[in-house]
Amino acid sequence: MKNSIKRAQSERSLSAMSNVRILREAKKYFAMAAAALALAACDKNNDDLGIDNTKDTPITILSAGVADLSTRAGTPAGTLTSGSLSFFFNNNSGDNGRYVADCEKWTYTNGKWQFDETGFDNQQLLWKGAGNAIPWIATYPYRDDSYSYITNDAGGMDEKVPADQTDETKWTEFDILWATGTATSSSIEIEFKHLYTKFSVNLTYGTEVDATQTIESVTVGGTRILRYFNYATTEWQNNLDVDIKDIKALALETPNYIDANDESKGTYNASFEALILPQTAAPKLTIEMSDGRVFATTLTEQEFKSGYQYNIKLKVGQDKVELGGITAAEWGEPVDGGLLETL
């Protein structure tokens, strides 16, 4: 009997303790729910009162990439996951300080793009707040304070390509990417495109050419290697300094396919690539053979556009070189696609 009484008392005690725990958990839950409701009410009150919760939040770059712009040399297509970029942010309203970036440096670190205080602008850019639409410009790779104020309508920069482009490892340094957009929040996504123009010079041998001969070099002459580009208006201008020099092209280890859509047709005997600045010109192509012979042909004057690649087909004979035609397309499209311009 006594044992039964003790068990009953023990069960009542355990039940009471369980009820206490349940009450405690319930109080904790209701306290958390009340806090959440209070926070939501606070946010709603802020909205009702016109208080902007986004003001002065740091600008973040969510992603940066090159969309569908594959290339044999230079910066590859896809998401950029290395290096540093330049970021310019200016609404031309007279703002200064934390809402304007003359040239911020952002570096890809630990799996994301992060503000880098080693750049020209060494303080983190902030978002001015809701209701703003602020133009921005980005370039890749990072270039220093010489690019300050390019977001102003009067702002731009001298652009220059090197005369010697034979080292493929340096192409990512001068194959400049750029992007522009308008920010309506603190989060930015960047989709780059190529700023310059690419020449793809593809050569085949005539039947009379000795198969043991090789093409030592291809030179692109008659183009300006220095021009002024206004990033805000996207206009190119000639400099007072007329800097026209020969550009020594890069020899590709594996030549391009003759037909981008049918690899069974084989490759060209040789392929060379060069970057030129967008301009209207009549480039002169000079081909030097391994036996010392030199051939040259001059293209008809035309406009060579920013972000375009030009597939130039040449046939090398015993004592001359013949132009087979030029195909133009946006950089990254198949080299035999796009606008056909036969000269």
Task: Please give the order of strands across the beta sheet that includes 112-116.
Answer: 78-79, 60-66, 187-194, 177-183, 134-140, 84-89, 101-109, 112-116
Does the structure show a pLDDT above 60 at 98? Answer: yes
In angstroms, how far is the first alpha carbon of the chain from the final one?
114
**Rounded mean pLDDT of 199-225?**
92
The per-residue pLDDT for 90 is 75
Examine residue 334 and say whether the peptide bond preceding it is cis (omega within 30 degrees of 0): no
Dist. CA 286–CA 296, nearest whole Å:
4
pLDDT, tens digit (0-9, with 9 covering 90-100), for 12-37: 554 545 554 554 655 555 456 555 55
Does the structure show a pLDDT above 80 at 206? Answer: yes
pLDDT, tens digit (0-9, with 9 covering 90-100), for 83-93: 999 998 875 55
Q: Tell me, what amino acid is at 184?
A: T
269 contact partners, CB below 8 Å, separation of at least 6 = 203, 204, 205, 215, 255, 316
Whether domain 60-194 has CATH 2.60.40.2620: the reply is yes
Does the structure show a pLDDT above 90 at 343? Answer: no
pLDDT, tens digit (0-9, with 9 covering 90-100), for 243-302: 899 999 999 999 988 887 788 888 899 999 999 999 999 999 999 999 999 999 999 999
Dist. CA 136–CA 92, nearest whole Å:
11
The region, left, alpha or beta by phi > 0 then psi within -120 to 50, assigned to residue 237 is beta
CATH second-level architecture of 197-341?
Sandwich (2.60)
**Is residue 74 classed exposed, middle or buried when 0-12, 13-18 and 19+ CB atoms within 10 A define those classes?**
buried
Dist. CA 326–CA 202, nearest whole Å:
10
pLDDT, tens digit (0-9, with 9 covering 90-100), for 304-339: 999 999 999 999 998 889 999 999 998 866 544 333
Q: Where are the domains of the chain?
A: 1-51, 60-194, 197-341
Phi first, then psi, for residue 334 (nearest 5°) are -55, 135
The per-residue pLDDT for 64 is 94
pLDDT band (50, 70, 90) for residue 145:
low
Better-scored residue on pLDDT, 267 or 75 = 267
Name the range with the highest mean pLDDT among 4-8, 110-114, 121-125, 147-151: 110-114
Task: Kindly state the tokens that stand for 4.
Answer: 């039964």
Better-scored residue on pLDDT, 123 or 303 = 303
- CB-based contact 225:277 (threshold 8 Å): yes
Residue 21 belongs to what H/E stretch? helix 2-48
Task: Kindly state the tokens that stand for 129.
Answer: 């707040």
